Amino acid sequence: MKVAIVGAGTGGLASAIRLAKLGYEVSVFEANDFVGGKVNEQWLGDYRFDMGPSVFTEPALIEELITLCGKDSSIFSYRQLEESCRYFFSDGQQVIVPSGMEQTAKTFESAFGENRLRTQRFLNRLSKNYKALYPVFISASLHRRNQWMNHGIWKAITRIPFYGMSTSMTAVNRRIFKNPKSAQLLNRMATYNGSSPYRTPGLLNIISHLEFNEGPAMPIGGMVQISKTLHQLCIELGVTFYLGERVDEIQHRENRIVGIRTTKQDFSCELVVSNMDVHFTYERLLKGLHEPKKILRQEKSSSAIVFYWGIKKSVKELGVHNIFFAQDYQAEFESIFETKTRYEDPTIYIHITSKVEKGDAPDGAENWFVMVNAPINVGQDWDVFVAETRRTCIEKLSSALKLDIESLIEIESINEPRKIESVYFGKQGSIYGNSSNSAFSAFYRHPNFSKTLKGLYFAGVTVHPGGGIPLALNSAKIVERCVREDYKR
């Protein structure tokens, strides 16, 4: 049987590996001339930049795919970072949070005056929540009872009182921590799936388990090594790639998949896995098919403006991951999700791989990935929006670091919502499809299979279980499981 995968993002590549291992003849169609989706790289002169995701957690998911292919997991190497992030507050306080539960608790005590044991208990609770939810929510389909009704369901149910589902993330964090800065650090995790901590449920605090308890890692060679490794595994399994070939239609007849039509050919197949934004999958590829309007009409996730700067100086105050917080965090999220306007004092994230990957920048220089969360594209004047955001970032960073940042920028490239939509096919520039800005929206993402078309499946960050590289990899695992069930292989 033949499988066509639409899109060579992380979820698409992982799906290709898993279905090829089942014995299917797999072909991947990608509109761009590169694989990896947002997980790709760009060289600007002597500076290398990862273009998209910058935080790497749960490396075991990559190692699992490597082992599945009969390879030694050492072909993919990474380093565990000693720090989770460096934080810069508007009052001038600077805090380095190390990785690990005990070290994080100690830092919260010394920097913010929090009770160390209380912080440890909270982080331990998040660890238990994550482990309880993993087998029934993250690695299983919520839309197939036989998958989520497993041996872990009772453990997940007994922990319902500890999830914080009935209140917001910020309400949970403010109740636990007495210092607003502590809560702000936890609130930041809502942005990992493009949501607002003032509206997303406390359940999403489980993201902090990966950030603080386990800590981030960094692939040797940068985030792009994730895509390169998965691509190489696909090639060795005999997966065929059609790069620069956009899919225009998913063809179906009598409620089953019969093939796809691309810009260059008609391709017959029995299965299709769409790694494309689920909104565009229905709007552009599934002609004549009734779409799940209630799911697709949910609020979109946030977008982003990213400046890729080659900085001709090494700044010792900065680490691999750095956050410069807005003074009024809630007002910033109101601008992103409610008024969809530019905020004058945005939170700025700086990712610098050259801190550990010395070849990513010239000696004495650094590659800055400077990101500001932004609203989706609803017709704003993005030329002005981006120019003003750039000015604000330079002024804010220059003040905080006591440097003339403008004079240090040797080379520059920019990404923003219009490009995210045109290059990565995120509807209106949204990064994760739908946001999780309501009590049950995290449980109400599009399933990993079609309920109306036999042979149609969905992978990637815009469907269950959600945004981020680990969840995209789990979406592929769920697709494989669904295919096994549907075709008894």
Residue 148: the pLDDT is 77
Q: Could you read off the pLDDT of 45-62 as tens digits, one per residue? A: 999 999 999 999 999 999
Do 270 and 240 share a domain, yes or no?
yes
Same domain, 66 and 162: no
pLDDT digits (tens, 9 = 90+) for 142-161: 888 888 777 778 788 888 88
Are 114 and 202 members of one domain? yes
Q: Determine, yes or no, domain membership for 98.
A: no
pLDDT of residue 306: 98
Q: Do 236 and 176 fall into the same domain? A: no
pLDDT tens-place values along the chain, 489 residues long: 999 999 999 999 999 999 999 999 999 999 999 999 999 999 999 999 999 999 999 999 999 999 999 999 999 999 999 999 999 999 999 999 999 999 999 999 999 999 999 999 999 999 999 999 999 889 999 888 888 777 778 788 888 888 888 899 999 999 999 999 999 999 999 999 999 999 999 999 999 999 999 999 999 999 999 999 999 999 999 999 999 999 999 999 999 999 999 999 999 999 999 999 999 999 999 987 888 888 888 999 999 999 999 999 999 999 999 999 999 999 999 999 999 999 999 999 999 999 999 999 999 999 999 999 999 999 999 999 999 999 999 999 999 999 999 999 999 999 999 999 999 999 999 999 999 998 778 778 999 999 999 999 999 999 999 999 999 999 999 999 999 999 985
Write down the pLDDT at residue 482.
97
Helices marked H in 213-371:
224-236, 278-280, 293-296, 329-334
Note whether residue 205 is domain-resident: yes
204 and 110 in a single domain? The answer is: yes
* Same domain for 166 and 252: no
- pLDDT for 237 equals 98
Three-state DSSP class for residue 301? coil
Query: What is the total count of domains within the chain?
Result: 2
Cα angle 443, 127, 466 (rounded to 5 degrees) comes to: 30
Is 379 inside any structural domain? no
Tell me, yes or no, whether 186 and 123 share the same domain: yes
Q: Are residues 203 and 124 in the same domain?
A: yes
* Structure tokens, 103: 């070290």
Query: Which pair of tokens denotes residue 425?
Result: 């096919």
pLDDT at 441: 80
**207 and 117 assigned to the same domain:** yes
Cα–Cα distances (Å) from 378 to 339, 381, 420, in that order, read 11, 9, 14
Looking at 158, 182, 212, the residue that finishes a domain is 212
Is 14 among the domain residues? yes
Q: Verify that 234 and 207 share a domain, yes or no.
A: no
Question: Which of 177, 212, 247 delimits the end of a domain?
Answer: 212
Please check whether residue 387 lies inside any domain of the structure: no
Write down the pLDDT at residue 4: 98
CATH code assigned at 271: 3.50.50.60
The domain containing residue 111 runs over which residues? Answer: 105-212
Q: What gap in Å lies between CA 387 and CA 385, rounded to an integer?
A: 6
One domain, residues 194 and 144: yes
Q: Look at residue 489 in the predicted model and tell me its pLDDT.
A: 56
Which of 164, 191, 212 finishes a domain?
212
Gyration radius of the chain's alpha carbons = 22
For residues 244 and 8, give the distance between their C-alpha atoms in angstroms, rounded to a whole number: 11
Same domain assignment for residues 74 and 109 = no
On whether residue 26 sits in a domain, the answer given is yes
